[in-house]
């Protein structure tokens, strides 16, 4: 169950996304969620932490530039070392984690040795770049839909899901629209009106007007 605002999928220009922020309450929810084992308490906390439509706080002011995030840095370095993968930072990170833990996990992909590392880069990452270039952004699973926030000044801020794909699109200069769900709006955003559900349409139209291709 997500908030009502996030029910609609919008398609935007990914190159217009400049900032990144974790969901507003992620800083306290995530540590608690990892410690708590009782399912109904986890669900209760998640509902109250992440399923609002409007949030206060300074998360929008404290948002970082997307090109400073580890997703962007990894993909940029990968691009620079595309002909010598074992020199890339991401390759070295995966090998280091395999040596220390015995495995590395990317989403649901389990990587346990150097052969599987090469397979990950050549058959997953390269295929993803090729797919984005040729087929644009294909929605395979709505649970993995890229999410955005709207700050108090109306800036669209990238949040969870699709960060590697966004970095690929930006760094390989791929022209495509980018599907997103709005998971939260700052309480001081000028179009905010909690009492009128139809005001969500004004928010959607604002995003379309300012962030579409």
Question: Which tokens belong to 194?
Answer: 């909690």
- Residue 194 to residue 43: CA distance in whole angstroms: 24
- Residue 100 to residue 168: CA distance in whole angstroms: 28
Are 58 and 151 in the same domain? Answer: yes
* Residues 152-178, mean pLDDT to the nearest whole number: 95
Mean pLDDT of the chain: 91
The three-state secondary structure class of 56 is coil
Are 147 and 130 in the same domain? Answer: no
Percent of the chain clearing pLDDT 70 (strictly above)? 95
Are 55 and 114 in the same domain? Answer: no
Predicted pLDDT of residue 196: 52
Are 158 and 63 in the same domain? Answer: yes
**120 falls in which pLDDT band (50, 70, 90)?**
very high
- Residue 99 to residue 168: CA distance in whole angstroms: 27
Q: How many domains does the chain have?
A: 2
- Residue 206 to residue 85: CA distance in whole angstroms: 42
Are 61 and 102 in the same domain? Answer: no
Predicted pLDDT of residue 3: 76
DSSP state of 148: E
Are 148 and 62 in the same domain? Answer: yes
The three-state secondary structure class of 107 is coil
Are 27 and 60 in the same domain? Answer: yes
Are 94 and 148 in the same domain? Answer: no
The model's pTM: 0.89
The CB density around residue 134, as the number of other CB atoms within 10 Å, is 9
Question: Which tokens belong to 1?
Answer: 């169950």
Are 76 and 58 in the same domain? Answer: no
Percent of the chain clearing pLDDT 90 (strictly above)? 74
Are 28 and 87 in the same domain? Answer: no
Q: What residues make up the domain containing 36?
A: 4-68+143-166+173-211
- Cα separations in angstroms, 74 against 81, 89, 135: 11, 7, 23
> For 139-160, how does the pLDDT look when each residue is reduced to its tens digit (9 = 90+)?
777 778 999 999 999 999 999 9
> For 20-62, how does the pLDDT look when each residue is reduced to its tens digit (9 = 90+)?
999 999 999 899 999 999 998 999 888 888 889 999 999 999 9
Predicted pLDDT of residue 5: 86
Are 63 and 74 in the same domain? Answer: no
Predicted pLDDT of residue 48: 85
Are 64 and 78 in the same domain? Answer: no
Predicted pLDDT of residue 2: 67
């Amino acid at each position: 169950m997500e908030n009502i605002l996030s029910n609609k999928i919008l398609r935007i220009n990914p190159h217009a996304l400049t900032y990144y922020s974790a969901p507003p309450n992620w800083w306290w929810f995530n540590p608690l969620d990892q410690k708590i084992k009782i399912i109904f308490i986890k669900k209760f906390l998640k509902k109250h932490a992440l399923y609002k439509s409007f949030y206060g706080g300074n998360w929008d002011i404290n948002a970082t530039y997307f090109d400073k995030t580890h997703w962007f840095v990894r993909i940029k370095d990968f691009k620079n070392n595309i002909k010598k993968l074992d020199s890339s930072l991401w390759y070295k990170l995966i090998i280091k984690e395999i040596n220390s833990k015995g495995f590395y996990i990317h989403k649901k992909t389990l990587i346990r040795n150097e052969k599987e590392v090469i397979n990950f880069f050549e058959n997953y990452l390269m295929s993803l770049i090729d797919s984005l270039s040729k087929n644009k952004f294909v929605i395979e699973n709505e649970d993995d839909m890229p999410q955005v926030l709207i700050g108090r000044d109306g800036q669209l801020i990238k949040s969870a899901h699709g960060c590697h794909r966004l970095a690929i699109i930006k760094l390989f200069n791929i022209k495509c629209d980018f599907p997103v769900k709005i998971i939260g709006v700052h309480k001081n955003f000028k179009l905010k009106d909690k009492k009128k559900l139809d005001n969500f349409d004004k928010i959607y139209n604002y995003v379309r007007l300012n962030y579409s291709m």
